[in-house]
Amino acid sequence: MIRVLEFKKEVRARIESVLDHGAIMEASRDWHAKRNPIPCGMTIHTGISCDFGCLYCYIYDMGFTGKPRPYNLSGLQLVYALTVNPYFTPGIHGTLLAFGSVTEPFMDNTLSRTLEYFRSLRDYLGNPQQVSTKAIIPDNLIDDLRLSVDPDISILISLSTLRHADKLEPRAPPPESRLVFASKLIKRGFHVTLFLRPIIPSITDREIKDILDKASSYNIETIVTGTLRVTPRILKNLEVSRVVDINQLKNRIPENLKPRVQVAIKSSDLKSYIIREAEKRGIKILPASCSANIDSHRQACAACDMGPCGLEEKLPEVDEEGVIGACEALGVRVSQVRIQNNIVNIKCIDKPDKCRVLKHLIISLARRTPKIKITS
């Protein structure tokens, strides 16, 4: 653990010797330098917004427009931003990287920046990479993709419907074209997973047999499911589409909706049904998008109650002495460290933000569940 923290400082110093002061300041102020990783890892924004116009997309509730543009940081600036982020851990067993989130990484406006980020993060930091996409890269650029990415990158091909994409995803490539693209990537040796996100009640569940059969015909062997999140705007969009059973959807919303606040619908029964249908076809089901990243990199993780994911014997070796040493290197004061099964119990006697840094270090490097009690 201590060596990884030293490596992070070394990379930061290397980038500081190349970038000018203005570029360093811009990177230091960027959100990549400050935010916590989310459950799927650290989201990497290769652009801002998207013009595919999917009716269920939440980015418009976050204030983004439908006019996409590449992200403002260069690849080296992004590397620098991550090295000053206290919650980020570099390396192949470090923080998982998830490309996408508030944009479509492979659309025309963002592809060049996405490839630049892939290269810079691979060459300087080496973290596991994952990208989710509905877009299609031209055949002549697939080799550029291969030369740019982490060799074990996890590629998630997003798909929610075969029959109603023209209504629900009006400017995204047709679903079957995405599956053709997935097949081409698989033939080139990429790790590809079908990302059934969002599961739209009355749409995805009714089509799931056809979706899985079609995916199998294109040699896709793994799937991840994802829950629909709604806002008042998204609910209205889906109602206006006239293809979604809006009453069924409303019955799955667990609380009153507020403007711009995303609420995950109840979907456990839909996921169970999809899992049963996938199992009938011999398709591997992964519990979350980060599981696909762990799987493609042949690693293991037991950092949440969905796991352990991957092969448990591949979990990193960790002992209490190593965790204590990492705490000292971070400057985080602790009074007790106890490891039991896949849980790292820590009594932290420091500020909450420092304890939070420690939490993300345990998740990334130990790949265990951190249980941190803050005491005075």
Residue 39 pLDDT class (50, 70, 90 cuts)? confident
| CA angle, residues 241, 102, 233, in degrees to nearest 5 | 35
Helix 320-330 to helix 352-361 angle (10° resolution) is: 130
- Total residue count of the chain as it appears in this document: 376
Lowest pLDDT segment from 12-26, 202-216, 318-332 = 318-332
Answer yes or no: are the C-beta atoms of 126 and 93 closer than 8 Å: no
HSE of 351, CA atoms in CB hemisphere, 13 A: 5
- Helices (H), ranges, 188-288: 204-217, 232-241, 246-251, 268-280
Helix 2-16 to helix 111-124 angle (10° resolution) is: 120
Residue 312 pLDDT class (50, 70, 90 cuts)? confident
In the chain, how many H helices and how many E strands?
14, 16
C-alpha–C-alpha distance, residues 165 and 183, integer Å = 20
176: helix, coil or strand?
Answer: helix
pLDDT at residue 88, as a whole number:
97
Q: What tokens appear for 326 in the block? A: 């990492």
- Mean residue pLDDT across the chain: 96
List the one residue out of 282, 299, 279 whose CA is nearest residue 290: 299
Share of the chain above pLDDT 70, in %: 100
| CA angle, residues 274, 200, 267, in degrees to nearest 5 | 60
Q: Which domains can be identified in the chain, with CATH numbers?
A: 2-299 (3.20.20.70), 320-374 (3.30.70)
Residue 139 pLDDT class (50, 70, 90 cuts)? very high
| pTM score, whole prediction | 0.96
Residue 66 pLDDT class (50, 70, 90 cuts)? confident
Q: What tokens appear for 175 in the block? A: 């679903």
Residue 1 pLDDT class (50, 70, 90 cuts)? confident
Is the pLDDT reported for residue 148 higher than 80? yes
Average pLDDT over residues 40-44: 93
- Helices (H), ranges, 281-372: 289-296, 320-330, 352-361
C-alpha–C-alpha distance, residues 362 and 129, integer Å = 19
Residue 200 pLDDT class (50, 70, 90 cuts)? very high
C-alpha–C-alpha distance, residues 158 and 149, integer Å = 19
Average pLDDT over residues 265-276: 98
Residue type, 18: V
Q: What tokens appear for 362 in the block? A: 């345990």
DSSP characters over 88-131: ---STTS--EEE-SSB-TTSTTTHHHHHHHHHHHHHHT---EEE
